Amino acid sequence: MYNIDRIINKGINKGVFPGAVLLACMGDDLKYYNAYGHTEIFSKKKVKPDTVFDLASLTKPIATTLAVMLLIKQKKIFLNTKIKNILSCFENTDKGYLTVRNLLCHNSGLFDYRPYYKILNNISFEKRNQKLEELLVKTPLAYSTGTKTVYSDLGFMILRMVVEKVSKKCFDHFVVDEIYKPLGIKDLFFTNVKKKINRDFAATEICLWRNKMLSGVVHDDNAYVMGGVDGHAGLFGTAFELYSILSVLLKLYHGEKVTSLFTPELVREFFKKQTDSERALGFDIPSVQKSSCGHYFSKKTVGHLGFTGTSFWVDLNRKIIIVFLTNRVHPFRGNNKLKRFRPILHDAVMKNLLLE
């Protein structure tokens, strides 16, 4: 049996990340739920199981994708709805015929990233959403829609606008009020960049352009200038609450009607690899080679990574969920050691689970 504590502590000693929380379950049995290291390197405050992490791009599947799923369940939008039919600013543009499906599975033709914050930070907050719309409209497509898969923040910025337009609610309020609260999820939330929340946060980067160490404030630059809330980043949470919502989705996938928010059929559709994309709808799937989830997850697996050092993987066949949250960008984002570490850890955890 692999000593998981030893592997993670070795990672901390080698500077892979300052701190982490690992949670792993098989069926309804919680096998691992431990905290390691420090929330930041200066005070040496210890990470606890309920430490809150900046989930970064886990916002895409756990907030934005679920919001889209709910609107589809309510028959307010559909996967093949064209965004020009929701957001009039995209009419008569090269992006008008993009569908909700294109944005979810990252084959839209949109660029992966653009540093919009450099422009948005110089205008008043009230005008930023309109300006972001203008920037997204003017940014040309990088490739022909449907011809390849390019992971894109821009697509999920547009999906946030879609959710707000259709629901007539602020994105974060819609996600929290219509999804998390009905499911009893309390520790998944967005933070307002102007309002301090008294929680135990894992620190992220010492941001040079913001001139401070980030703790409880979103790390992503584009999400920050939008007040801490967008469709591609901004969600904070604990490992247990992330597991809780993944557990609901896993049970729905297997036909257990544990909530009326989504149907098993809808969850299965979103967890399915798309024919013209290397991803599922809003969720990632293991890559053929050198996947961050290692070698032992089944082919029926979904997951996602977050830039700050967060991740989850769900083996749909074996009913295994592994949540691994770190603050690898603390104190600076140039630390890329986690890329090699993740598959080693996942392999060790999976071997232990499968050999029990």
Instruction: State the Cα–Cα distance between residues 87 and 133, nearest whole angstrom.
Output: 10
Number of domains in the chain: 2
Residue range(s) defining the domain that contains residue 135: 64-173
Domain boundary among 119, 142, 173: 173
Is the sign of the CA dihedral 305, 10, 322, 220 positive or negative? negative
Instruction: State the Cα–Cα distance between residues 101 and 280, nearest whole angstrom.
Output: 10
Tell whether 148 is covered by a domain. yes
- Report field, pTM of the whole predicted structure over 0.85: yes
Residues 41 and 89 in one domain: no
Tell whether 149 is covered by a domain. yes
CB burial readout 39-78, b (16+ within 10 A) else e: bbbeeebebeeebbbbbbbbbbbbbbbbbbbbbbeeeebe
What are the φ and ψ backbone dihedral angles of 153, each rounded to 5 degrees?
Answer: -65, -35
Confidence of residue 145 (pLDDT cuts 50, 70, 90): very high
Confidence of residue 193 (pLDDT cuts 50, 70, 90): confident
* Out of 64-68, 166-170, 197-201, least confident range: 197-201
Among candidate residues 13, 11, 33, 14, the one with its CA nearest the CA of residue 22: 33
Tell whether 180 is covered by a domain. no
Tell whether 218 is covered by a domain. yes
CATH number, position 73: 3.40.710.10
| Beta-carbon contacts of residue 111 (< 8 Å; ≥ 6 apart) | 139, 142, 150, 152, 154
Residues 125 and 159 in one domain: yes
Residues 202 and 237 in one domain: yes
Instruction: Please say whether the beta carbons of 247 and 260 come within 8 A.
Output: no
Q: Tell me: pLDDT of 51 over 90.
A: yes
What does the H/E/C string look like for 130-159?
HHHHHHHHHCCCCCCCCCCCCCCHHHHHHH
Domain boundary among 173, 199, 217: 173
Residues 146 and 291 in one domain: no
Digit-coded pLDDT (tens) for 92-118: 999 999 999 999 999 999 999 999 999
Digit-coded pLDDT (tens) for 203-248: 999 999 999 999 999 999 999 999 999 999 999 999 999 999 999 9
Could you tell me what percentage of the chain is helix, strand and coil, using 3-state DSSP and rounding each to the nearest 5?
35, 15, 50
Residues 243 and 343 in one domain: yes
